Chain A
Amino acid sequence: MAEHISHLFIISIILYLAGSLFALCFYGWQRVGNYISLILAAIASCFSIAAAAVALSSGSTIRLDFTIYHAIIKYNFLLDPVSSYFILAIAVIGFVAAIYSIGYTRLYVNKRDTRFLGFTYNIFLASMLLVATANNAVVFMIVWELMTVVSFFLVIYEHENPANMKAGFMYIIMAHIGSVFLSVAFFIMFAHTGTWDFGFDDFRKVGSHMPLIYKNVVFFLVIIGFGIKAGIFPLHLWLPMAHPAAPSNVSMVMSGVMIKTAIYGFIRFYFEFLTPCPPWWGVVVLIIGASSALLGILYALTEKDIKTLLAYSSIENNGIIIIGIGLSMIFKSYNLMALSSLAMMAGLYHLVNHAVFKSLLFGCAGNIYYATHTKNIEELGGLIKRLRVTAPLFLVGALAISAIPPLNGFFSEWLIFQSILNGFHIPSVIIKIVTIICGAVVALTGALVATCFVKAFGISFLALPRSDCAKKAKEVPVIMLVSMGLLASLCVFLGIFPVKVMMVINSVNTHLLNTNILPAITSYDWLHTKSVQTNFTELSPKSATVLGLMLLAVTFGVLTSIKPRFVRKIYETWTCGRSPEPRLEYTATAFTRPFKTIFSNLYRPQREVRTEYSVPNFFVKSITYVGEVSPIFEKYFYSPVARFILNISNRVRWVHTGSIHIYLTYIFITLIILIIFVGK
């Protein structure tokens, strides 16, 4: 069994590498090379899915050790249920995105080198899978860096645009700051292992005997290191820049699964390496999650660029996942293992849900861009009559992300609420109150998400087109729609049949927390199918759906019997005597204006209205309105830090004289100091 799994995994990695090399081979025949590499990526993903599925169902732990004689680095990989769960998420999204890319890359054919896209895309997927399996700190950092660098190249794929280059550089700089923090964390822990291996297996034993002060330091280093990748506030700056800059098929993967590798890191550190944790760690993580969720959605709300909006919403969803992780940590530190397992289930369920619906939404945003060549929703409108298939797909994604039953977003939100309610088992009153306030934050976030996605769907798809590009839009190639259809049906499936997913997550929990709560939280309902229950209540999304359909049939029957021939007369919308025009429609800016006013302390909106007169003060020629949200994080957090660093570097500039002799002296002095201190 174990051999099969490891073979499947190795084959999939080899296929990814083959795919990336094939992409480079076809210079004159780019389209074919591109298709071959993407199809290979899809097949490779299938192998990974198979490997992860088998590993999860058997609950086994597989080691892959490639020992190279005399090599310093030990290439250890491990497929335990935690890794397998992440591999499953990465590979499913990688598979769908690869199929989607076959259509989407037509946008670039003959315009730019698509070989490069196929090459990096394959390596990107492989590197993420390796991040989730690396079992050695050195290997982990290597593949982590590989993932960052490759995704950097994907972000700057359309590099003529200076905004994309800026986004790419912001991304790679921040990602490297994160890597520095992670390396320091690894080194501190390494100092306490007593071996030279850097193996995760040694780190797993280190938590019990490491002094608390070092553990606290590592805790914060890890929060920053992985937090940058997860895009938590205020370390989110790169995320809303880089995700929109990348081509949509890449943003799908980046937003859907790449940022989830940070969650993977959190789980490894806080549940395996640094255990036992003090309760306040969980509280810190919880508060970080809640504030990221709220701030993320507040910024998404005012956004007009559809991909930036989705990127901010990824921050929000990552926040919700982190709330689940934080709750799980709190419960675990009080040794409430069943509740810890429930909260972990909520977080991991939301993780896979977010991967599915966010990839769906990014894909649909890609469809919109493919059809209209714009990402600004103020220029869209009326697309529901032009992109007839994309519209319902986007709607499914929007409903799912707004946690509307019976789609999948609702179920994980419900689990989060159940875990938060169980916070009353925590002995400390302060932590109890913090958890319940987080519940209120999640509720507010949920309502704001609904507003945000009503706006995103309503303004871009409904009413009359607001520009020529929206008017001329045509439906995208079938293959893109098919792949998005897969994700949309996954949204429905994950929402209506939650027990299947919970069984999978339960095997992760059984491995990670040594508790099996599945028998306690599932039961057979009246239809003799599995429903979900907690100590508070039961929930059966399936029977709610069945009831809804039954009621629909009855309502329809009654209405038809009252009036058998119901006629709809088509007439134009009443707009006070004028003929309907796009300019009369509500805009995205207007739609979220009340929120800008309410949260003006956060947004600090800057408004400028300029009026030009043809005859002064009487006949208005034109009115220009500029409304912007001021970026307070850049202003009050990043700029001071940047200025401080620049000041310091100005001060120490005199050290760099440019003369080689002086540099040699520096090296000599350093050497002597090292000999004195280390030689002792």
Chain B
Amino acid sequence: MITAPAVPEGEQQTLPIASNDDVVRARQLVRTLAQQCKLSLVDQTKLVTAASELARNTLVHGNGGTMRVGLVDKGGRRGVSAVFQDTGPGIPDLELALTDGWTSGGGMGLGLSGARRLTDEFAIDTEVGRGTVVTVVKWTR
């Protein structure tokens, strides 16, 4: 579960995800924040890659949505949080969706499960017909 405090309003940036270009923009925004937060190069790359997967999921499976990103703080540790929200069809079988290699489309089936391994905190809230919210946090080491 996510234990990070809610990102203070105002320090959050929201980006619509409606096209492939937006996935690129999401990646660049997350990279900028990860650099600001002074994440190591490996952690930056991991977070950016996870954001890329989740943004593409939002676009392809959720029919578009938004990404909210911001810096978070927990007991002196800093981190970057990213929330991907869509109002798409939702995920009927979450366990199956998180299985390596299972895909509902033509992908590799590693995006969602991979994003969970690439980040420190990973929470998913989904309901069929209502949409999906995925929250990830990467902390500095």
Q: Do A and B bind each other?
A: no
